[in-house]
């Protein structure tokens, strides 16, 4: 039995009761759909989409976190919809902004990564007023500063006929986080299905879960003992300083060590203790964390991974400006003894052999199997690939992310797609994958998934496990080294997953109670305190700020857009923001300010800012200007005083990007409304000598720097001669290419047409 709909190709979508029931509910109000992996989240999205197009019209925006997932969704939609394929488009950063703008105007369905849409909203290339549905795939990401949050907020402001659909298999174990996702996406309804629900159960395949407990080799014990001795010494010092409650290694874990780092940073920020003592604590904490990580690597990953880690630490210790913690660790006699013993070992972690045996056994039972082995570390994935490559019938291939790590280059998306294609075709039958294969990649269902190590995240555990048993029963094998962090991570993940199911079930019951009580769809209430600006009279005149291209991806620009400011990116020779014809702003974080003091760029930038604008302004963003670097306080104060007194540039300090954006917005509004000043591409300059004014004018020509402006003036003597010069004449000046010459002539000869 298949779904029948005029926008869906006949006999392509199987009818499933739970999918149509969820889609029907989602069409009534904005909904978060939580459903296990492999049960057709994309089909539910498609069903909502076609009804929305049929009854409301408008545009559909389908957001997914990664480019491969975007391509996967586009392929799925084109395969199953009767809509003209040219009306189903994909947006990625590789498409030029102009092309995206044209495609947006002429499309029905846009599938995109959220960062691209965020940029296009900020630039004004995309307006969400005509969007009748936004789908947020992997909706659990809609927290904090992730682009989903910004897009949803702008949809609330711009959308005329709004509907939101969030879909996820793993929203997390914390009710507060689930509700935060709902709040951020403006969701009113939650539809939850589990593998045990009546309407879902017929489509769920059994997953056999096997965990293998593995003993550590005796040869590892002395090395671990030496590393623990070195760690214990650091923990003792941290306890004596009051940073931790216990120096017992058995009571210390990674989370507690990271908490020390947070405490130290807060103390430095608040200035409540002596800096030298706090810096000593910071180094101790860093040493303890590095040694703890080395112990965990040897216990859970093996000799080769641990050797690689110490090799990188040695390079860091020997490098100029390397970490003090690394230098101190590599001078510790116990560490050096442990490393010598490590280098002498001719065995590795028994997990390697277990992985090989488990995978060999699978292919002996079913030669056409597909298997994924998940490893946390790339070093380990190389070892596993090497071990499996020696086994008959196994055709392994590493599958890693795009990021380049140290000497190792990542895989491009094209390479990833090629590996997946060959995996589907059987050219490779086993993938050794890092976290990149957990989410957002179109990897076919596998017969078996192997966890080289457990992971504490319930979301990632569910995503890994969801790679099997999609179309047939599957198997999950989890390798756990006895009496190591493996055991803690396994039980933590299990505990969190159980809590997530419990919280979701409680949430579902609460929804049902509220629906029955209120006689309609559950509508969560997230009352927000009114802001002062909510009571101000709305400004009819649009406020515009020109921003330098290098600042364009900053959080300040995002916040400006959220405040209703039109942001226009340009390549600015001076400053970061232009608020009017007379006001130019240089924005520096505290770290940027101190760095520019050290490298000597600060006062040169201030001279340029002062000369470029009649009313220059410096904004320093962040706290603790006197505690971030080991710089004499008098030197910092002297620089601040000099900027104000000697250069006549006011300084404003802000706590964060939000405060910076608000100051920029309010200043621009005041300038552009009260003073009726247009935002000029180049600001008003102070009184200049004639030769400075001439250079200033010539610098306004395309691609002309101050150096080229001087060359042009020296060659042609006057600005009039430059304006009358031909392309061939201009080309004679060193540094003026054919394209620049052509653009200069065009500027002087093209009629002015106001936009």
Which of 38-42, 428-432, 693-697: highest mean pLDDT? 428-432
pLDDT value, residue 78: 95
Q: What pLDDT shows up at residue 510?
A: 67
What is residue 42's three-state secondary structure? Answer: helix
Q: Phi, psi at residue 616, to the nearest 5°?
A: -75, 155
Q: What whole-number distance in Å separates Cα of residue 179 and Cα of residue 174? A: 9
Q: Tens digit of pLDDT for each residue in 434-471?
A: 887 766 566 767 889 999 998 888 767 777 777 776 67
What pLDDT score was predicted for residue 102? 92
pLDDT in tens, 393-415: 999 999 888 777 666 788 887 88
> pLDDT tens, 221-275?
999 999 999 999 999 988 888 888 888 888 888 888 888 877 776 665 555 556 6
Which pTM does this prediction carry? 0.65
Comparison of pLDDT for 611 and 219, the residue scoring more? 219
* Residue 632 confidence class, pLDDT cut points 50, 70, 90: confident
Give the chain's largest Cα–Cα span.
Answer: 88
Q: Is the pLDDT of residue 688 over 60?
A: yes
Yes or no: say if 295 and 389 are a contact pair by the CB < 8 Å rule.
Answer: no
The pLDDT of 481-493, averaged and rounded, is 88
Average pLDDT over residues 684-709: 76
> Mind listing the domains of the chain with CATH numbers?
17-203 (3.40.50.300), 207-214+350-491 (3.40.50.300), 219-344 (1.20.1320.20), 541-674 (3.40.50.10130), 690-749 (1.10.150.20)
> ∠ at Cα 213 (207, 214), nearest 5°?
135
pLDDT averaged over every residue in the chain = 85
Q: How confident is the model at residue 664 (pLDDT cuts 50, 70, 90)?
A: very high
| The pLDDT of residue 61 is above 70 | yes
How many other C-beta atoms are found inside a 10 Å radius of the C-beta of residue 519? 7
Tokens 């392929």 identify what position? 75
Q: Check: CB of residue 384 under 8 Å from CB of residue 432.
A: yes
Give backbone dihedrals phi and psi of 644, rounded to 5 degrees, phi first.
-75, -50
Which range among 27-31, 426-430, 528-532, 549-553 shows the weakest confidence by mean pLDDT? 528-532
Per-residue pLDDT at 529 exceeds 90:
no
Give the distance, in angstroms, between the CA of residue 45 and the centroid of all CA atoms in the same chain. 24
* C-alpha 658: how far from chain center: 19
CA 435 to chain centre: 15
- Quote the CA–CA distance of 174 and 158 in Å, as a whole number: 31
Residue whose C-alpha is closest to residue 453's, from 485, 430, 475, 483:
485
Residue 531 has pLDDT above 50, yes or no: no
Q: Which residue has the tokens 């020509």?
A: 701
Would you call 152 helix, strand, or coil by DSSP? helix
CA pair distance 182, 188, nearest whole angstrom: 7
CA 577 to centroid of chain Cα atoms: 25
At 738, phi and psi to the nearest 5? -65, -40
Going by pLDDT thresholds of 50, 70 and 90, the confidence category of residue 682 is low
> Which H, E and C letters describe 546-596, residue by residue?
EEEHHHCCCHHHHHHHHCCCEEEEECCCCCCEECCCCEEEEEEEHHHHHHH
The winner for highest mean pLDDT among 280-289, 292-301, 317-326 is 292-301
Flag the least confident range among 289-303, 452-466, 608-622, 723-737: 452-466
Grade residue 696 by pLDDT with cuts at 50, 70 and 90: confident
Asked whether the beta carbons of 454 and 489 are under 8 A apart, the reply is yes
Q: How many CB atoms sit inside 10 A of residue 642's CB?
A: 14
CA atoms within 13 A on the CB side of 221: 7
pLDDT for 439 equals 61
H or E element, residue 488:
helix 485-518
What mean pLDDT do residues 355-360 have? 94
pLDDT at 533: 40
Q: How many helices (H) and strands (E) does the chain have?
A: 28, 19
Half-sphere exposure for 377 (CA within 13 Å, toward CB)? 16
The whole-angstrom distance between residue 322's C-alpha and the CA centroid of its chain comes to 27
Residue 627's pLDDT is 72
**Token pair of 428 as six digits:** 């490779």
Residues 652 and 583: beta-carbon distance below 8 Å? no
Task: Dump pLDDT digits (tens) for 63-86.
Answer: 999 888 898 899 999 999 999 999
Residue-wise pLDDT tens digits, 569-596: 888 888 999 998 889 999 999 989 988 8
% of the chain beyond a pLDDT of 90? 44
Q: Which of 85-94, 277-286, 365-374, 667-676 has the lowest mean pLDDT?
A: 667-676
Percent composition of the chain: helix, strand, coil (DSSP 3-state, to 5):
50, 15, 35
Instruction: Look at residue 178 in the predicted model and tell me its pLDDT.
Output: 79
577-578 and 544-548: which strand pairing? antiparallel
Q: What's the sign of the alpha-carbon dihedral 483, 484, 486, 491?
A: positive
Q: In the prediction, which pLDDT does 494 show?
A: 83
Asked if residue 589 lies in contact with residue 621, where contact means CB atoms within 8 angstroms, the answer is yes
189 - beta bridge partners? 31
- Identify whether the C-beta of residue 444 lies closer than 8 Å to the C-beta of residue 358: no
Query: 535-567 pLDDT, tens per residue?
Result: 344 444 678 899 988 888 788 998 998 888 988
């Amino acid at each position: 039995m298949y779904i029948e709909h005029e926008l869906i190709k006949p006999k392509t979508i199987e009818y499933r009761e739970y999918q149509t029931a969820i889609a029907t509910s989602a069409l009534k109000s904005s909904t978060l759909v939580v459903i296990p992996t492999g049960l057709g989240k994309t089909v539910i999205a498609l069903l909502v989409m076609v009804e929305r197009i049929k009854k409301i019209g408008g545009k559909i925006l389908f957001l997914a976190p990664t480019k491969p997932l975007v391509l996967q969704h586009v392929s799925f939609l084109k395969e199953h919809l009767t809509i003209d394929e040219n009306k189903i488009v994909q947006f990625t950063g590789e498409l030029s902004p102009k092309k995206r703008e044209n495609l947006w105007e002429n499309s029905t369905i846009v599938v995109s990564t959220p960062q691209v849409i965020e940029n296009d909203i900020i630039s004004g290339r995309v307006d969400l007023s005509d969007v009748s549905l936004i789908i947020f795939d992997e909706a659990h990401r809609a927290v904090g500063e992730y682009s989903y949050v910004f897009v949803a907020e702008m949809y609330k402001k711009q959308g005329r006929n709004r509907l939101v659909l969030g879909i996820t298999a793993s929203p997390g174990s914390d009710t507060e986080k689930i509700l935060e996702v709902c709040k951020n996406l403006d969701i009113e309804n939650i539809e939850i299905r589990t593998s045990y629900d009546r309407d879902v159960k017929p489509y769920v395949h059994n997953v056999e879960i096997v965990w293998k407990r593995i003993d550590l080799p005796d040869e590892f014990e002395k090395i671990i003992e030496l590393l623990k001795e070195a760690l214990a010494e650091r923990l003792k010092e941290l306890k004596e300083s009051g940073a931790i409650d216990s120096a017992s290694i058995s009571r210390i874990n990674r989370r507690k060590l990271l908490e020390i780092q947070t405490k130290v940073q807060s103390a430095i920020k608040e200035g409540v203790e002596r800096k030298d003592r706090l810096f000593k604590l910071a180094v101790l904490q860093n040493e303890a964390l590095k040694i703890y990580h080395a112990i965990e690597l040897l216990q859970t990953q093996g000799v080769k991974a641990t050797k690689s880690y110490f090799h990188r630490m040695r390079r860091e210790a020997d490098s100029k400006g390397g970490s003090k913690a690394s230098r101190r660790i590599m001078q510790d006699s116990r560490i050096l003894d442990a490393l010598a013993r490590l280098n002498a070992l001719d065995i590795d972690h028994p997990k390697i052999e277990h992985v090989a045996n488990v995978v060999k056994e699978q292919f002996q039972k079913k030669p056409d199997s597909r298997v994924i082995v998940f490893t946390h570390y790339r070093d380990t994935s190389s070892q596993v690939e090497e071990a499996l490559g020696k086994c008959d019938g196994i055709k392994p291939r590493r599958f890693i992310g795009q990021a380049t790590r140290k000497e190792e280059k990542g895989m491009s998306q094209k390479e990833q797609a090629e590996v997946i294609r060959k995996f589907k075709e059987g050219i490779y039958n086993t993938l050794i994958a890092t976290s990149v294969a957990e989410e957002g990649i179109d990897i076919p269902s596998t017969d078996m998934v192997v966890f080289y190590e457990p992971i504490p995240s319930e979301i990632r555990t569910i995503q890994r496990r969801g790679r099997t048993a999609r179309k047939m029963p599957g198997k999950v094998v989890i390798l756990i080294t006895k009496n190591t962090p493996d055991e803690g991570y396994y039980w933590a993940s299990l505990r969190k997953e159980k809590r997530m199911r419990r919280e979701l079930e409680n949430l579902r019951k609460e929804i049902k109670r509220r629906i029955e009580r209120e006689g309609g769809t559950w509508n969560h209430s997230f009352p927000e305190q009114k802001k002062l600006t909510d009571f101000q009279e709305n400004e009819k005149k649009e406020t515009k700020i020109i921003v330098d291209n290098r600042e364009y991806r900053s959080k300040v620009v995002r916040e400006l857009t959220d405040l209703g400011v039109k942001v226009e990116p340009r390549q600015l020779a001076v400053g970061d923001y232009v608020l009017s014809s007379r006001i130019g702003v240089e924005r520096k974080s505290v770290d940027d300010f101190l760095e520019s003091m050290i490298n000597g760029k600060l006062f040169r930038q201030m001279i340029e800012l002062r000369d470029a604008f009649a009313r220059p302004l410096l904004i320093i963003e962040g706290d603790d200007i006197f505690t971030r670097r080991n710089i004499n306080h008098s030197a910092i104060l002297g620089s601040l005083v000099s900027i104000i007194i000697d250069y006549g540039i006011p300084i404003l300090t802000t706590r964060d990007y939000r405060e910076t954006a608000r100051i920029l917005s309010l200043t621009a509004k005041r300038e552009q409304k009260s003073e009726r000043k247009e935002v000029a591409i180049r600001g008003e300059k102070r009184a200049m000598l004639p030769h400075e004014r001439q250079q200033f004018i010539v610098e306004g020509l395309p691609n002309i720097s101050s150096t080229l402006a001087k060359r042009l003036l020296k060659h042609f003597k006057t600005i009039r001669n430059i304006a009358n010069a031909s392309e061939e004449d201009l080309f004679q000046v060193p540094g003026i290419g054919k394209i620049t010459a052509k653009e200069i002539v065009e500027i002087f000869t093209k009629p002015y047409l106001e936009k």
